[in-house]
Copies of this chain bind each other. A is one copy, B any other.
Amino acid sequence: MEDYEKIRESLMQFIEQGDDKGLKEYFSTLELPLKAYLIGHLSENEKLLVFSLLSLDGKAELITELDDYSLEVIIRALDSDALSRIADTLDIDEAVDLLSEVSVQRRDEVVNKVRNAGQVRSLLEYGPETAAGKMTLKYLSLKGDEDIEKAQKRLRRVKEEEEYKYIYVLDQGGRLKGYVTPWKILISDPNTKLNQIALPIRSVTPDTDQEDVANVAIDYDLLQVPVADNFGHLLGVITIDDLFDVVEEEATEDIQHLGGLRVIETAFFPPRRSFNSRIPWLYVKLFSALIAAMVVGYFGDVIHAFIGAAIFMPVVAAMGGGAGTQTLSIIVRSIALGEVRYEDVKRLLWKEVSVGFMTGISVGVVSSLIAYLWKGNPLFGLVVGLAIIINHISAGLFGVLIPMVLEKIGVDPAHASSIFLTTITDVVGFIALLGLTKIIMT
């Protein structure tokens, strides 16, 4: 890991010297994950240069490992012939992944040139984040009444380089009945029937969300999840390496959505792209902040009469926002992991409001002492303390309610929760602080 910098420098030297041959040779000595990492760190033109030097197989191998931004740059630069050739070199699930990244305007043109155009088209329709979009058609199945000896003979005739992790067992009607592992076949008595050693199956439907597929694999410790239609016919399988990517991808999405990004970014997005992806959320935030500003404006006379109120505005806002974000991050993550459901809302409300009350009292008492000592007025200390307690309770309340309701109505809670929440804690905090100042102090 330590010599990444050196490798990068060597690569840059080849590029700067225009030594394409040396560049090609040097790049080919590197391992795949390192290749993808390096491409991710190059400028657009350099990405394209390095990629163009690769063989067709090299391109196909690398393209599945690229970060989203590098992938996009390369897809944009390739014509439909080049893209379809790469897609033909890939497994069908990878080809579908690749083609789903091609802009809608060009996609049909590319798909028409692909070898399995019909199949690819039907998989594309399910969308890339469904079981169908993630599944590969490379699987093996055998009839359950075959014995091990015959099965092994049959498998020896499979000449492909593919690693099969599971072999699916079908009944006479071709319906999925179970699976066996190569290990089980290897150690079982040659006369055993596959039915006897088959393990029960857990399958998903083609439209199952990729996150749910990953949860099935995690919960049941599976290396593959089969996709079956309503009649129990096997359509394809989703392998664990793809599910690993799903878990990482979904976590990245949650983190970035909570951080206020609509479009998932990679660190080296060009500034213009980042600008486009971030600005809509910032405008939503601006207009919600204006609501808080209106509250302050409404209490302008209070601030005028007692400047201490303005001083403690950032404190009350920060404490409410902080407490609310704590609640939010637990609830959003628990929803994503399937640990809580909408039915839990009452219990969670009770819990988080209690915690908000407790933290509110603790922080409120300290803040109220600080406010008293700072401004020399015990009544103002009381105002600050009460405002913080009220804001913490509302933070607990809305920290649960907002993501739960969004989930219930089918909106990703990671997406929009944080803006709603901070707006509410700002507004509630300012109303409490300035309103109480008005009532108690004037």
- B residues near A275, Cβ cutoff 8 Å: 355, 358-359, 362
- B residues near A73, Cβ cutoff 8 Å: none
Interface residues of A in 150-175 (CB under 8 A from B): 152, 155-156, 158, 163-165
Majority SS at the chain A contact face: helix
User: A186 contacts which of B182, B312, B370 (Cβ < 8 Å)?
Assistant: B182
Give the CA-CA distance A32 to B356 in the complex, in Å. 34
Assuming the A-B contacts A322-B281, A323-B282, A341-B4, are A426 and B247 also in contact, with contact meaning beta carbons closer than 8 angstroms in the complex?
no
- B residues near A4, Cβ cutoff 8 Å: 341, 343
Give the CA-CA distance A194 to B270 in the complex, in Å. 49
- B residues near A304, Cβ cutoff 8 Å: 304, 307
Give the CA-CA distance A268 to B351 in the complex, in Å. 8
User: A259 contacts which of B267, B311, B325 (Cβ < 8 Å)?
Assistant: B325
Instruction: Give the shortest distance, in Å, between A337 (CB) and chain B (any CB).
Output: 7
Interface residues of A in 302-327 (CB under 8 A from B): 303-304, 307, 310-315, 317-319, 322-323, 325-326
The answer, yes or no, to whether A183 is at the interface (CB within 8 Å) is yes
The answer, yes or no, to whether A241 is at the interface (CB within 8 Å) is yes
- B residues near A311, Cβ cutoff 8 Å: 293, 296-297, 300
Given contacts A265-B330, A282-B319, 20 further A-B contacts (CB under 8 A): A5-B341, A41-B344, A182-B186, A186-B186, A223-B240, A244-B244, A254-B255, A256-B329, A256-B333, A258-B258, A259-B325, A266-B334, A267-B331, A267-B334, A275-B359, A278-B323, A278-B326, A282-B326, A289-B319, A292-B315
